[in-house]
């Protein structure tokens, strides 16, 4: 991906090395060297900047990578400071630039996705200024815009029904585009799909571990025998991959922390008012994993199973309506079946902390049963 014009103008023409303020760590020094590197930027109009501030970001958090907030300040008061976000692979300990260790492949997957974002029909991603997938054992790196400077804010707290519905619309656009590109057989996207697919043996092993942990949990002991039996029968099918109906490229960790939204929407919500970030968990799997994670982690602490069912149907309707608008050629009924029949998969995929934040597990499992997830 080429640098945008703005970026090609910024960094090559320092009269002297600018003042550099940052936490004294390997990652910040790496960013300094990168931004001042004469190999990355072409000759262009001279602009004078005299300070680079780097700090570890508290808004753009990533479990798998290091995320830095960079501010490049101008000597001239008439020029605006430049804000950007830099993502690097985590290192266990500082290493020199000439002795980089084996990279975290998750950041490489995100960098690869950046190369096909232009194929998506909707503007749901932040602007990426520079992307290097880290070939030849180099460090993968991503430089993207700071969305907060365009009025977007991260979703920090449990979502209201309105905000969850907007996230479902965003997810539908993402999934519809990955299904469309998969069906279109775009050469680049098809190549990436093969990279993101995991072999069946690995998936079955992973699911066996997740299922065993769930069956041994205290939740199962509190269920009635009939529901317990239905869950066990369904999990046998999930474990053997017999519930796969319509898989595609999924986000892999679709939580509210991965969504930025404008909070000053005055003329009705549009897809341009919401952005999706952080793709280091991207994989080829059931869209139910994405749908279930954002749904279950923002579900009201409600024990009335009928109310939970209505809430689910409302979110599914919002998702499917936008999915059909984005990719009408796809049989949305298959996608609906895929999500419903694999909700238990999305449930056991939740992290320990995510499960711990849920108080109505029993009611949720009864709701799954009522909508047909265990059929």
Long-range CB contacts (< 8 A, 24+ apart) of 70-73? 70/31, 70/35, 72/10, 72/11, 72/35, 73/49
Could you write out the DSSP letters of every residue in 231-264?
HHHHHHHHHTTTT-SS-EEE-S---GGGEEEES-
State the average pLDDT for the chain: 82
- Tokens 């103008």, located at residue: 9
Q: What local confidence, expressed as pLDDT, does residue 193 receive?
A: 86
**Over the stretch 209-257, which tens digit does the pLDDT of each residue have?**
999 999 999 999 999 999 999 999 999 999 998 888 999 999 999 999 9
Give me the domains of the chain, ranges plus CATH numbers.
20-145 (3.30.200), 152-371 (3.90.1200)
Between 311 and 111, the more confident residue is 311
What token pair was written down for 66?
Answer: 């290091």
pTM here? 0.86
Between 131 and 48, the more confident residue is 131
Residue 233 and residue 373: Cα distance in Å, rounded?
11
**Over the stretch 30-50, which tens digit does the pLDDT of each residue have?**
776 666 553 433 334 334 556
């Amino acid at each position: 991906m080429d640098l945008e014009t703005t970026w090609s103008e910024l960094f090559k023409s320092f009269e002297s090395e600018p003042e550099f303020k940052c936490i004294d760590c390997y990652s910040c020094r790496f960013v300094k060297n990168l931004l001042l590197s004469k190999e990355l930027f072409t000759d262009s109009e001279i602009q004078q900047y005299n300070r680079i501030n780097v700090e570890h970001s508290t808004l753009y958090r990533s479990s798998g990578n290091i995320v830095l907030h960079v501010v490049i300040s101008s000597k001239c008061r008439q020029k605006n400071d430049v804000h950007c976000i830099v993502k690097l692979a985590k290192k266990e300990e500082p290493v020199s630039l000439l002795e980089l260790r084996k990279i975290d492949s998750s950041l490489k997957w995100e960098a690869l996705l950046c190369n096909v974002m232009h194929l998506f029909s909707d503007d749901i991603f932040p602007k990426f200024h520079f992307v290097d997938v880290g070939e030849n054992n180099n460090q993968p790196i991503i430089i993207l815009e700071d969305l907060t400077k365009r009025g977007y804010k991260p979703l920090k707290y449990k979502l209201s029904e309105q905000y969850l519905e907007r996230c479902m619309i965003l997810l539908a656009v993402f999934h519809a585009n990955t299904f469309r590109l998969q069906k279109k057989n775009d050469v680049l996207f098809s190549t990436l799909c093969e990279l993101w697919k995991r072999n069946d043996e690995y998936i079955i092993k992973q699911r066996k571990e997740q299922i065993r942990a769930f069956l041994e949990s205290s939740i199962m002991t509190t269920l009635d025998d009939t529901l317990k039996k239905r869950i066990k029968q369904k999990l046998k099918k999930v474990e053997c991959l017999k519930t796969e109906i319509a898989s595609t490229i999924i986000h892999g960790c679709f939580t509210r922390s991965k969504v930025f939204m404008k909070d000053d929407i005055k003329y009705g919500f549009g897809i341009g008012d919401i952005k999706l970030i952080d793709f280091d968990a991207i994989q080829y799997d059931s869209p139910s994993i994405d749908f279930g994670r954002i749904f279950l982690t923002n579900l009201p602490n409600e024990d009335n199973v009928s109310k939970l069912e209505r809430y689910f149907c409302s979110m599914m309707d919002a998702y499917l309506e936008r999915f059909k608008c984005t990719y009408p050629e796809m049989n949305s009924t298959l996608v609906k079946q895929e999500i419903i029949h694999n909700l238990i998969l999305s449930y056991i995929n939740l992290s320990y902390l995510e499960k711990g934040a849920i108080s109505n597990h029993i009611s949720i499992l009864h709701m799954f049963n009522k909508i047909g997830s265990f059929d």
